[in-house]
Amino acid sequence: MSAKVGKTMLSLTLTFGLVGLVAAGCSDGGGKDGDVVTITHYTIDSPDRTFVEKLIPDFEKTHPNIKIKVTKAPYEQFDSKLQSSIAAKNSPDVTSHWGYGGFMEYYNKGMLMDMTPYLADFKASDYNIPDDVMNIYKVDGKTFGIPLNSYVTVMLYNKDLFDKAGLAYPPTDYEDKSWTFDKMVDYAKKMTVDSKNLAEAQYGVDFGFGERDQRPSYFGGQVYSDDTWTNGGKPSKINLTEPDVIEAYKKVYGLIWDQKVSPTPAFSKSVSGQFGDPFLSGKIAMSVVGSWSLAASSDFNFKVGVAAVPQGPNENVRSVLYVDPLFVLKDSKHPKEALEWIKYLITTDVQKKSIELSGGNPPVNQAAAETYYNNFEGIDPAQIKQVFDGAYKYGFESYNHLISNYSQINELFINELAGVENGDEKVEVALPRIQEKLTKLLERVNK
């Protein structure tokens, strides 16, 4: 991983007061010597997460006093089932923010244990985790999460469509300043067939940069006030009616309805198939997407390449970073044993093994990174590494990890921007309404 991640929000150690997260539910502190304890690991019911079940026998062999039980839920139900288990005093020991909510939401709800008292002998360097990455999940110097996987935003492109159009492949080097948003749009126009005939239609680019409220940042617009990143993820001001934010959203949705180089939601849905990704259909030339989509590279029926996200108006932000941690929940009665499980999962050998078992989860342990880069058939490992290094340098952590009550915020954006995305409403009409609703929502939930 690039050492320059520290230039981004990844290096942020939040500086606000601790809000009573004393681990009251953890007075047990672990089983007595010789006692066997069970640690519950709660995850999404998806192969790229449930693969941990295959690691349990090896862990239990070397930790005979600890048993691991995996519980799971569909993505859409992950947060609600977690909240229900906590309310029922039956919370898991270990989990992550694998649902709509994120770290700051979990923190502000008092769900997380301060791991610091149990980490006296823990060094991130022993697990090849850069300090600036380790610091993401610290508050006032106290550790509330240990990084597990580290995703970035990438551009995937269909080499077959580029070859057919006679276009040079986009670069992997983020320092190549000739690769700009405008050039991407120009390429997209040359590879778009805007037709109502599904068999003929194809589009130049699917610009899936982060969640809907984060996309303006690529163009230099900031939906939330700057204090959001230093006060616990609670914005004091919403900027949806500011000219730069309005223009940013016009750029995003103009790709669909003005330039007509991006697929409509209806088209994407019709060609997505079982994987839910329209790029897999072969009808999208370029896709700006989270690097988890690389895991599906073996399913592509065309030659695929990976490239840098083009430079936009905001020269400092070209990637959304998704660093997934593991948490110990505050009601865990066995935090020491839970941490043994977490430490096992971030060891070099296990992180390497997890790449294959998961289908391509990127390791946070940088000693396993080369194994990850070599995991994708038909894509040059050196190019993947260069794209990841650039994405870290020009990246900003995903808003859903940093903003409190994000699940409710995200739902509001999804619902209120549907008309714009479907071409039924103009950006300048929708944003003032969203501004008002979002302001009221935050006033209510951030009291």
The CATH fold of domain 152-321+397-446: D-Maltodextrin-Binding Protein; domain 2 (3.40.190)
Which of 11-20, 248-257, 285-294, 354-363 has the weakest average pLDDT?
A: 11-20
Instruction: Classify the C-alpha dihedral 210-213-219-221 as positive or negative.
Output: negative
Domains 37-148+324-379 and 152-321+397-446 share a fold: yes
Range 181-210 average pLDDT = 94
Terminal-residue alpha carbon distance, the chain: 38
Residue with tokens 């067939």: 193
Is CATH 3.40.190.10 the classification given to domain 37-148+324-379? yes
416: left (phi over 0), alpha (psi -120 to 50) or beta: alpha
Tell me what pLDDT residue 34 has. Answer: 67
In terms of Cα–Cα distance, which of 380, 363, 364, 128 is closest to 372? Answer: 363
Q: Which of the four pLDDT bands, split at 50, 70 and 90, describes residue 210?
A: very high
Q: Which of the four pLDDT bands, split at 50, 70 and 90, describes residue 276?
A: confident
Tell me what pLDDT residue 100 has. Answer: 82
For the cut 90, the answer to whether the pLDDT of residue 193 exceeds it is yes
Q: Which of the four pLDDT bands, split at 50, 70 and 90, describes residue 12?
A: very low
Tell me what pLDDT residue 8 has. Answer: 40
Kindly list the domain boundaries of the chain, sorted by start residue.
Answer: 37-148+324-379, 152-321+397-446
Tell me what pLDDT residue 147 has. Answer: 97
Tell me what pLDDT residue 99 has. Answer: 87
For the cut 90, the answer to whether the pLDDT of residue 237 exceeds it is yes
Q: Record the tokens describing residue 257, joined without a space.
A: 């309805």
Range 36-40 average pLDDT = 97
Range 92-111 average pLDDT = 92
In 313-439 the beta strands, taken as DSSP E runs, fall at 319-328, 395-397
Strand, coil or helix: 112? strand
The model's pLDDT over 159-192, given as tens digits with 9 standing for 90+, comes to 999 999 999 999 999 999 999 999 999 999 999 9
The model's pLDDT over 403-419, given as tens digits with 9 standing for 90+, comes to 999 989 999 999 999 99
Residue 329 pairs with which residues in a beta bridge?
A: 112
Q: Which of the four pLDDT bands, split at 50, 70 and 90, describes residue 277?
A: confident
Query: By the 8 A CB rule, do 383 and 306 touch?
Result: yes
Tell me what pLDDT residue 300 has. Answer: 84
Q: Which pTM was predicted?
A: 0.86
The mean of the pLDDT values for the chain is 90
To the nearest 10 degrees (0 to 180), the angle between helices 335-345 and 348-358 is 70
Range 330-341 average pLDDT = 97
Range 228-239 average pLDDT = 93
For the cut 70, the answer to whether the pLDDT of residue 27 exceeds it is no
State the Cα–Cα distance between residues 45 and 57, nearest whole angstrom: 20
State the Cα–Cα distance between residues 176 and 277, nearest whole angstrom: 28
For the cut 90, the answer to whether the pLDDT of residue 66 exceeds it is yes
Angle at the Cα of 53 from the Cα atoms of 51 and 55, rounded to 5 degrees: 90
Tell me what pLDDT residue 275 has. Answer: 57
Residue 138 pairs with which residues in a beta bridge?
A: 143
For the cut 90, the answer to whether the pLDDT of residue 29 exceeds it is no
State the Cα–Cα distance between residues 302 and 22, nearest whole angstrom: 53
Range 317-333 average pLDDT = 96
Range 295-309 average pLDDT = 89
The model's pLDDT over 111-136, given as tens digits with 9 standing for 90+, comes to 999 999 999 999 999 999 988 889 98
